[in-house]
Amino acid sequence: MSKPISLTGIKPTGTPHLGNYLGAIKPALELREKYSTVYFIADYHALTSVHNREEMRSNTYKVAATWLALGLNPEEGLFYKQSDIPEIFELSWLLSCFTPKGFMNRAHAYKDKVAKNQTAGTDPDDGVNMGLYSYPCLMDADILMFKSDIVPVGKDQKQHVEFSRDIAERFNKHYGKNIFVLPEAVMQADTDIIPGLDGRKMSKSYGNTIEIFLEPKELKNKIGKIVTNSQPIEEPKEPEKCNVFALYKLFASEERADALAARYRAGGMGWGHAKDALRELLEERFAKPREQYKALLADTAQIDKILAHGAEKARTIAKPFMQEIRDTVGVV
């Protein structure tokens, strides 16, 4: 029996950080045991907000290199760039013809933007392009094209996957044929528990991130910025109340975390020592992938080749399926 299909869309915006790693990348890579996996770079989704050529190119390569360096095997399952699969855009249009406009009005990214404009007293649709408005229709095509059974997402994307399920169901009912598989959103670990430098959730929008592949010196500087209190070295400290420890615990074995906690409680350990321990741990985990990441980025032709090969493989599925869908609606 073949495995169920899990599909992960990765929007190439910004340099991936430890919050992305723990909340999205690591759990998505672990799905390989139970699922046949599809990973793709959602570059046309990024285009709704990134309108700078260099930024678009470098983010796309960075994101591809990150996933490859952290263990994504392009030979297993599918790995491609959305913009390389024209059938996805064809399907997106087709599905938009089955999508009530009211769904898009309710889509949270659009709604948030309108709410912000209203607060600012500007036109409600200020800064809203049609790509942003119909963003969920493109996601529907991403998801339904590859017959995804599950779609692991963060809470902000759950609504989009529910739209896909709804549209798929309407379409199937309308044509009396089980063309589309009904996808299910699977919630990813709550990233709220991953603290950034200031103790708030690690997020690009708070400017408190630690990027995954920092050079040792940069890493040391970043970790130096983690906010601690002013307890002196000799005083015993509470690991549960410390941002450094919270991060340490997310990466360490239980044994090592317990050992560091004991050092906190014993007194005689300063924040500098705790930060060194975290730095060493992260260095151990990411030094090797960092070399791979750098090697890939130094040879983007290699990434192009991997993605081109992935697209070719994906299109062997997308092309005949799109034909079947066209036939279903009577486009001949």
Binding of ligand TRP at residue 151 (CB under 6 A)? Answer: yes
Residue 205 neighbours by CB distance under 10 Å: 8
87 near ligand TRP, rule: CB under 6 A: no
In whole angstroms, the minimum distance from the beta carbon of 92 to ligand TRP comes to 11
Using the CB atoms, write b or e for 57-86: b if 16+ within 10 Å: eebbbbbbbbbbbbebebeebbbbbbbbbe
**Closer residue to ligand TRP (CB): 24 or 277:** 24
> To the nearest whole angstrom, how small is the minimum distance from the Cβ of residue 108 to ligand TRP?
11
Q: Toward ligand TRP, which CB reaches closer, 28 or 252?
A: 28
Closest CA to 44 of 91, 1, 10: 10
Sole binder of ligand TRP in the list 157, 188, 208, 209 (CB under 6 A): 157
Spatial distance between the Cα atoms of 237 and 77, rounded to a whole number of angstroms: 47
Q: Which is nearer to ligand TRP, 11 or 249 (CB)?
A: 11
Q: How many residues bind ligand TRP (CB under 6 A)?
A: 11
- For residue 227, the minimal CB distance to ligand TRP (Å) is 28
Question: Which stretch, 56-64, 149-157, 267-275, 299-307, contacts ligand TRP (CB under 6 A)?
Answer: 149-157
Q: Using CB under 6 A, which of 28, 31, 41, 42 touches ligand TRP?
A: 42
Residue 211 binds ligand TRP, judged by CB under 6 A: no
Q: Closest CB to ligand TRP among 153 and 260?
A: 153
Phi-psi bin for 38: left (phi > 0), alpha (psi -120 to 50), beta? beta
Q: Per-residue string for binding with ligand TRP, 114-143, x by CB under 6 A?
A: -------------------------x--xx
DSSP E strands: which ranges in 124-243? 150-153, 184-187
Site string for ligand TRP, 7-26 (x = CB under 6 A): x-x-x---------------
The separation between the first and the last C-alpha atoms of the chain, rounded to the nearest angstrom, is 34
The least CB distance from residue 301 to ligand TRP, in Å, is 26
* Residue 237 binds to ligand TRP (criterion: CB under 6 A): no
* Residue 43 makes contact with ligand TRP by CB under 6 A: no
Binding ligand TRP (rule: CB under 6 A), the pick from 22, 38, 39, 45 is: 45
Check residue 168 for interaction with ligand TRP (CB under 6 A).
no
- Segment interacting with ligand TRP, rule: CB under 6 A, options 6-14, 26-34, 270-278, 301-309: 6-14
Residues in the chain: 332
What long-range pairs does 265-268 form, CB within 8 A, spacing at least 24?
265/236, 265/237, 265/238, 265/239, 266/236, 267/234, 267/235, 267/236, 267/237, 268/233, 268/234
One-letter amino acid identity for 99? T
Q: Is residue 196 a contact point for ligand TRP (CB under 6 A)?
A: no
Shortest CB 21 distance to ligand TRP, Å: 15
The Cα 188–Cα 183 span in angstroms is 15
Q: Environment class of residue 34 by beta-carbon count within 10 Å: exposed (0-12), middle (13-18) or buried (19+)?
A: exposed
By the rule CB under 6 A, 147 interacts with ligand TRP: no
State the Cα–Cα distance between residues 158 and 129, nearest whole angstrom. 22
What number of helices (H) and strands (E) belong to the chain?
15, 5
Neighbouring residues of 6: CB distance < 8 A, sequence distance ≥ 6: 28, 31, 35, 36, 37, 38, 148, 149, 150, 151, 152, 186
* Contact set with ligand TRP (CB under 6 A): 7, 9, 11, 42, 45, 139, 142-143, 151, 153, 157
